[in-house]
Structure 1
């Protein structure tokens, strides 16, 4: 098995500029093939190494987010259905902070476009959405790609510890916000 993987890796390395292009195309078709982001980035780390794999993954994740934006704008009814589904799944009305969303994007069992939908709903235009998508794509691209580069050394206990750490981070990084209505703010004091 290792010989086949090594032969495939050598073939990809020998293909020159075609390998990164095919990898970026994999990122674009990944959502339609139901391939998790984690596996795609792990493959990028295994094939291209941490540095180049991370760069290609950031570009690929950004292209995926941009294609999601375009899809939602060409099919607004699809966007409304996704928003309704999000509201059913997450019943709370409080927003999420940037660190929370970055940690959520790192979790392999949370759909990649959950954060993309949240960004779409909270940004004003395409430029702002794209910039935030790049920032939100950096943590999973670097971390998953680095794991792909050292995948043979990562034990199951390491994965469990990492997931536990990510869950703890979500719990301790809530968005601190309090909403005061107009009437409450201007209520006469009782003193």
Structure 2
């Protein structure tokens, strides 16, 4: 295993500036390769270490958010497919920006679906990119730094982590519904 780590380190050093560029491009081509975000971020932690891997993951995911925005507005069929997925997964449910950020942390939640939610919630491209980038900080850090640890943990600890994230998601949902009903009474 040590020999593998050393050869990997030599390979990364040998590629110089090309390795980070290829890694960022991997984030952009990830959906076509059917790779989950968590896998690519873990790879970044293994190849580049925690800090550089997290920064490169953040850059790659931010560029993917930009691509998602462009895809939604340039290709109506793409938006239609994602909208159908949205209707299927969260039928008649509004989700807040906070919940989108929690969902970004959860592995295997569709990246473009969450981007569509953000697009629909924000008023401009600038707002979309702001909230999108804000929501990508934690996944970049968690998956890169702790992703390998999380996947190495026993299944029950990983399950507990997932349950905690789901609980936070629903607590925020209840809080937002309470806020909406309070705001609704103010206008009556």
TM-score higher than 0.5 here?
yes
Deviation at 1:7, TM superposition (A): 1.5
1:49 and 1:61 map into 2 onto residues whose CA distance is: 17
Deviation at 1:153, TM superposition (A): 9.0
- Higher relative contact order at CA 8 Å, sep ≥6: structure 1 or structure 2? 1
* Contact 1:46–1:151 under 8 Å retained in 2: no
Distance 1:100 1:39, change over 3 A: same
- The number of equivalent residue pairs is 182
Deviation at 1:25, TM superposition (A): 0.4
Deviation at 1:144, TM superposition (A): 0.2
1:153 and 1:132 map into 2 onto residues whose CA distance is: 28
* CA RMSD after TM alignment: 2.4
1:160 and 1:79 map into 2 onto residues whose CA distance is: 32
1:31 and 1:124 map into 2 onto residues whose CA distance is: 26
* Contact 2:54–2:141 under 8 Å retained in 1: yes
Residues 1:78 and 2:104 aligned together = no
1:143 and 1:117 map into 2 onto residues whose CA distance is: 23
Higher helix share: 2
* Contact 1:27–1:60 under 8 Å retained in 2: yes
2:103 and 2:10 map into 1 onto residues whose CA distance is: 34
Q: What is the match of residue 51 of structure 1?
A: 51
Q: What is the match of residue 189 of structure 1?
A: none
Residues 1:170 and 2:169 aligned together = yes
2:37 and 2:20 map into 1 onto residues whose CA distance is: 16
- TM-score of the pair, normalised by structure 2: 0.86
Q: What is the match of residue 107 of structure 2?
A: 108
Note the residue ranges of structure 2 that are not aligned, 5 or more in a row: none
Deviation at 1:41, TM superposition (A): 0.4
Q: Deviations over 1:131-178 (max 9, x none)?
A: 111111111101000024x54994224322321221121121212312
* Contact 2:150–2:158 under 8 Å retained in 1: no
Distance 1:16 1:152, change over 3 A: farther
1:85 and 1:173 map into 2 onto residues whose CA distance is: 22
Between 17-26 and 120-129, the greater mean CA deviation after superposition: 120-129
Q: Deviations over 1:61-85 (max 9, x none)?
A: 0000101111111112321332133
* Contact 2:54–2:144 under 8 Å retained in 1: yes
Deviation at 1:89, TM superposition (A): 2.3
Note the residue ranges of structure 1 that are not aligned, 5 or more in a row: 186-191
